[in-house]
Structure 1
Amino acid sequence: MREQQSEIRKSNILFLIADDHRFDGIGAYGNPVVQTPVLDQLAAEGVLYQSIYTMGGLTAALCVPCRASLLTGTHVFQATASEKEVSLGQTEDASLWNLNPEQTFLPEVFRQDGYRTIGIGKWHNGKESFARSFADGAGIFFGGMGEHVGLPLHDYDPQGIYHQDTMYPSETFSSELFADKAIDFIQGHEAEEPFFLYVSFTAPHDPRTPPQAYLDRYPLADIPLPPNFMTEHPFDNGELSVRDELLASMPRTSEEIRQHLADYYSMITHLDDQIGRILAALRASPHSENTLIVYTADHGLALGQHGLLGKQNLYEHSIHIPLIMQGPGLPQGLQVSELGCQMDIYPTLCELTGNSIPDKVEGHSMVPNVLGERNERRASVFSVYKNMQRMVHDGRWKYIRYSQAGDAGSNRTQLFDLLNDPWEMSDVSEDPAMHAHIQRLEEELQAWQKDVQDPLLLQKNA
């Protein structure tokens, strides 16, 4: 293993991250409808992780805590100022979404190690952390979402201030623009120093307005509904009226959900083409043989599954994300099934490139799995949503606990056997034969909540 690691030490890193791209929105993950030939090829030439999960967060704007966990390598209550310092009811204050300044950020680690770090696209975790992370950048969008043409952008500011009056609207579709900026850098980089190129797309997040040529690839008659399509969620989960859930009529209709899926797949295919342009530029450059490529997403979303539309829930469609790695020294065509957490990506990249892992990073390196060695570092993964929902998943059994939030929500639990019920269609929590599983998972969840100082547990015990 050490010999393989040394081959990719000081490799460049091309880090590609999408917004709202759930794990099964890629052909390589088994979706027969969506067209993603570039990502499929990347998976065939590299390593595809089948079981990577986000940890959720305490805000409806879930890209904030999810990206924060990724960028700090820490659990969700430690990753940002809001999760660490404020109470459950205050986390919609955008001024509290900055990365926790006590942490060392993922790009910052590489910058300190002599890498040229470049930030392109979306950054939803504060301007100060961006300035600490990147020595260069282009097409920078500080925010959560916006129109894909006319997105408010900044050029890189060496002072890290990013005044409002220097902002300008984009004239090109966001995915194309961010790809253009990445290609410009790759083609122009001639220095000996390695680079960490972070390209953060706003697709396929709504508004889903793909170019018509891509939408034409997905006739509605060819779009199947998911097996777990429902017209409405079977109970009040505490967040049925959040913005994302209001983007389609209630109860849901099959035709409207098919249209949402067609728009979503079209955005993904367009994004896939732009990634293809970046990878073509990389292959044509002197950096091709020495660049580690990473593709992932911040979280997923429902789009009709379980009667939901958004990501403010703890079902698989919302917390299970794609992760593909390809590059020098990595196996080809490997699929890794072991459980992993989003914050594990940080220490994995550090180990793959020979960087020391900061002491405050809590994620586990997945290098043993990346290099084909079975080494289960996580027996379970956990996820949270506001003060309403908590989840533990042990690789087969998945337990979700719902806590009443004010006048909304339900006090109840769900238990799914994901081995036999991957679409989470059969809640077996009421089956007396499942009592031992529920008790075991509840104890495990409470132990984790105590360990990470979950505000919901602290509030309950106050």
Structure 2
Amino acid sequence: MLTRMMRLLTLCATLALSLLPAAAKPNFLFLLADDQRPDTIAALGSPVAQTPVLDALVRRGTAFSKAYCMGANQGAVCVPSRAMLLSGRPLQEADETLKDKTWPELFADHGYRTFITGKWHNGAPSLRRAFNSGRSIFLGGMTDPDSAKVVDFLPDGKLSPPHKVSQHCVAQFASEAADFLKSSDASSPWLCYVAFNAPHDPRKAPPEWHAKFQPSSIPVPDNFLPEHPFDNGELKIRDELLAPHPRTPADVQRHLADYHAAIAFMDHQIGRILDAIPENQRDSTYIVFTADSGLAIGSHGLFGKQNLYEHSMRVPLIIAGPGITANRTTPALVYLHDLFPTLASLASLPSLDQSRGLNLSPVLLENKNSARQHITTSYRHLQRAVTDGRWKCIDYPLISRTQLFDLSSDPSEIHDLSSNPTHATTLTSLRSLLPDISHQPPRKKSR
């Protein structure tokens, strides 16, 4: 009887929320980078990054220092990562073509104007379901940003034939988002989703942005290695062939210079988007910035994101808006797919039973610093890992190899403590939490 009553109360509350006047509902601007490491924002500690816009966003909101992509079952990490992010489902449940309902669909169901521009890597059918409008959408993984082929939503909800961008696609995505925001009406809530394809390779920005980053001035990562110390099962994939073996400091500096140039250019374009939010809607708009994955780019002798080190699975995550504490960084352990129930909660919308994400509203609105007890990640059938925030174990089951790192004293994962008997109990405890990846198919793909 009590359960039935609670269900009835929940239904009544949901109905009441859906009937709120549009002006009472907040707006959402969601900004998604492609392959951006968490250590590439100046306000969060990068000595190289030139990111004044994201720095200002950090000061306006709450940054998560322990936000993770859960991993991937293929080399194109962004496909499952975005599927998890949009569906709220964990890696082993997420459908890469997004047959499940996405949170943009949920927002549209409750009266939001939903708009997309930028990269969509989960198929055209799910794109048409997820949004009710959009322009300059790149259906794919990677491309030359000056000649990308994009599509638009037509008035009947179908997609236009592909057409070439008229400018660097990162700038074009920003222009499309700015035009949408300038046309927004305070009487109708909106969700604007901007998915950049930067700083993914080919890491190409206009020349003046590359001029800001001379390779010789870029510090080599403290965890740089000429080669990874052992075969992790994915050393010959496309991303690992972007630089010759053995890695050299000069090669890494050159790639990092281009990487930071792409990020700085994207940061400038984000500024154009933020400036386009109408003045009378800024106080009622939530802004989210994150990325689908990180990238090695020289760390540990690797170049791609097909590994479980912090530089590749951890991502930047900044959320600013009504009620969120400004200029705060939280160490709460979170996944990207926790954003589904979190955004729904901030919009006072019901989440869906399909979501396995954790509502982070207590972290954002009540200054809590705890979310999950531990984070597990995995990559295909080759690698699996777990961290409790301090200790981290990475396991390579096919070669019976394990690593143990103390992230509190060794955030760059340089010193493997797995053979130290002092930490045997810690290692055993962490190993018991590792995910089962024995069922993962041995397939490869990298874009």
Q: Given the two structures, how large is their TM-score scaled by the length of structure 2?
A: 0.91
Cα distance in 2, alignment partners of residues 154 and 326 from structure 1:
30
**In the alignment, which residue of structure 2 is the partner of 1:373?**
367
Cα distance in 1, alignment partners of residues 150 and 36 from structure 2:
22
1:119 counterpart = 2:119: no
Cα distance in 2, alignment partners of residues 171 and 123 from structure 1:
19
Q: Pairwise mapping of residues 157-168 of structure 1 onto structure 2 (< 5 A)?
A: 157-158=154-155, 161-162=158-159, 166-168=161-163
RMSD: 1.8
- Measured after TM superposition, the shift of residue 251 of structure 1 is 0.3
Q: Pairwise mapping of residues 251-330 of structure 1 onto structure 2 (< 5 A)?
A: 251-282=246-277, 284-330=278-324
Contact residue 187 and residue 285 of structure 1 kept, 8 A: no
Contact residue 182 and residue 199 of structure 1 kept, 8 A: yes
1:34 counterpart = 2:31: no
**In the alignment, which residue of structure 2 is the partner of 1:401?**
395
**In the alignment, which residue of structure 1 is the partner of 2:406?**
417
Alignment partner of 1:205 out of 200, 203, 206: 200
Q: Which amino acid in the other structure matches residue 126 of structure 1?
A: G
**CA shift in 2, pair 1:375/1:251, >3 Å:** closer
Structure 2 counterpart SS, 1:444 = coil
Equivalent pairs: percent with the same residue? 43
- Measured after TM superposition, the shift of residue 458 of structure 1 is 11
- Measured after TM superposition, the shift of residue 411 of structure 1 is 2.4
1:154 counterpart = 2:151: yes
Cα distance in 2, alignment partners of residues 125 and 160 from structure 1:
18
Structure 2 counterpart SS, 1:445 = coil
Alignment partner of 1:234 out of 225, 229, 235: 229
* Larger deviation, residues 104-113 vs 371-380: 371-380
Q: Which amino acid in the other structure matches residue 416 of structure 2?
A: D
Contact residue 227 and residue 247 of structure 2 kept, 8 A: yes
Cα distance in 2, alignment partners of residues 17 and 109 from structure 1:
19
Contact residue 73 and residue 440 of structure 2 kept, 8 A: no
**CA shift in 2, pair 1:172/1:110, >3 Å:** same
Cα distance in 2, alignment partners of residues 201 and 57 from structure 1:
20
Alignment partner of 1:134 out of 128, 131, 135: 131
- Measured after TM superposition, the shift of residue 29 of structure 1 is 1.7
- Measured after TM superposition, the shift of residue 290 of structure 1 is 1.3
Structure 1 counterpart SS, 2:432 = helix
**In the alignment, which residue of structure 2 is the partner of 1:83?**
none
Cα distance in 2, alignment partners of residues 302 and 40 from structure 1:
23
Q: Which amino acid in the other structure matches residue 106 of structure 2?
A: V
1:63 counterpart = 2:63: no
Structure 1 counterpart SS, 2:405 = strand
Deviations 1:362-392 (A, max 9, x none): 1101111112432523100011101100010
1:176 counterpart = 2:171: yes
Structure 2 counterpart SS, 1:456 = coil
Alignment partner of 1:247 out of 218, 242, 249: 242
User: How many equivalent residue pairs?
Assistant: 422
**In the alignment, which residue of structure 2 is the partner of 1:187?**
182
Cα distance in 2, alignment partners of residues 191 and 127 from structure 1:
30
Cα distance in 2, alignment partners of residues 9 and 392 from structure 1:
41
Deviations 1:117-157 (A, max 9, x none): 11111110111111111110000111111000111100113
**CA shift in 2, pair 1:302/1:312, >3 Å:** same
**In the alignment, which residue of structure 1 is the partner of 2:377?**
383
Cα distance in 2, alignment partners of residues 9 and 319 from structure 1:
37
Cα distance in 1, alignment partners of residues 34 and 298 from structure 2:
18
**In the alignment, which residue of structure 2 is the partner of 1:86?**
none
Contact residue 186 and residue 280 of structure 2 kept, 8 A: no
**In the alignment, which residue of structure 1 is the partner of 2:3?**
none
**CA shift in 2, pair 1:239/1:121, >3 Å:** same
Q: Which amino acid in the other structure matches residue 98 of structure 1?
A: T
**In the alignment, which residue of structure 1 is the partner of 2:8?**
none
- Measured after TM superposition, the shift of residue 442 of structure 1 is 1.1
Q: Which amino acid in the other structure matches residue 280 of structure 2?
A: P
Contact residue 73 and residue 379 of structure 2 kept, 8 A: yes
**In the alignment, which residue of structure 2 is the partner of 1:221?**
216
**CA shift in 2, pair 1:191/1:131, >3 Å:** farther
- Measured after TM superposition, the shift of residue 231 of structure 1 is 0.5
Contact residue 9 and residue 352 of structure 1 kept, 8 A: no
Q: Given the two structures, how large is their TM-score scaled by the length of structure 1?
A: 0.88
Cα distance in 1, alignment partners of residues 205 and 107 from structure 2:
35
**In the alignment, which residue of structure 1 is the partner of 2:445?**
none
- Measured after TM superposition, the shift of residue 161 of structure 1 is 4.8
Cα distance in 1, alignment partners of residues 243 and 169 from structure 2:
24
Alignment partner of 2:439 out of 431, 434, 456: 456
Deviations 1:23-55 (A, max 9, x none): 111112210111101000001011111110110
Note the residue ranges of structure 2 that are not aligned, 5 or more in a row: 1-16, 443-447
Alignment partner of 1:73 out of 78, 88, 91: 88
Structure 1 counterpart SS, 2:353 = coil
Structure 1 counterpart SS, 2:31 = strand
Cα distance in 1, alignment partners of residues 24 and 438 from structure 2:
40
Cα distance in 2, alignment partners of residues 78 and 371 from structure 1:
29
- Measured after TM superposition, the shift of residue 221 of structure 1 is 2.4
Deviations 1:413-440 (A, max 9, x none): 1110000100000001111222111111
**In the alignment, which residue of structure 2 is the partner of 1:85?**
none
1:24 counterpart = 2:39: yes
Cα distance in 2, alignment partners of residues 106 and 22 from structure 1:
25
Structure 1 counterpart SS, 2:395 = strand
Q: Which amino acid in the other structure matches residue 244 of structure 1?
A: D
* Larger deviation, residues 273-282 vs 437-446: 437-446
Cα distance in 1, alignment partners of residues 263 and 401 from structure 2:
35
Deviations 1:68-112 (A, max 9, x none): 1100111011111xxxxxxxxxxxxxxxx311x2x2201011011
Contact residue 9 and residue 354 of structure 1 kept, 8 A: no
Cα distance in 1, alignment partners of residues 72 and 103 from structure 2:
19
Q: Which amino acid in the other structure matches residue 59 of structure 2?
A: A
Q: Which amino acid in the other structure matches residue 231 of structure 2?
A: D
Structure 2 counterpart SS, 1:287 = helix
Contact residue 135 and residue 158 of structure 1 kept, 8 A: no
Note the residue ranges of structure 1 that are not aligned, 5 or more in a row: 81-96, 405-409
Cα distance in 1, alignment partners of residues 441 and 127 from structure 2:
32
Cα distance in 2, alignment partners of residues 319 and 76 from structure 1:
13
1:441 counterpart = 2:430: yes
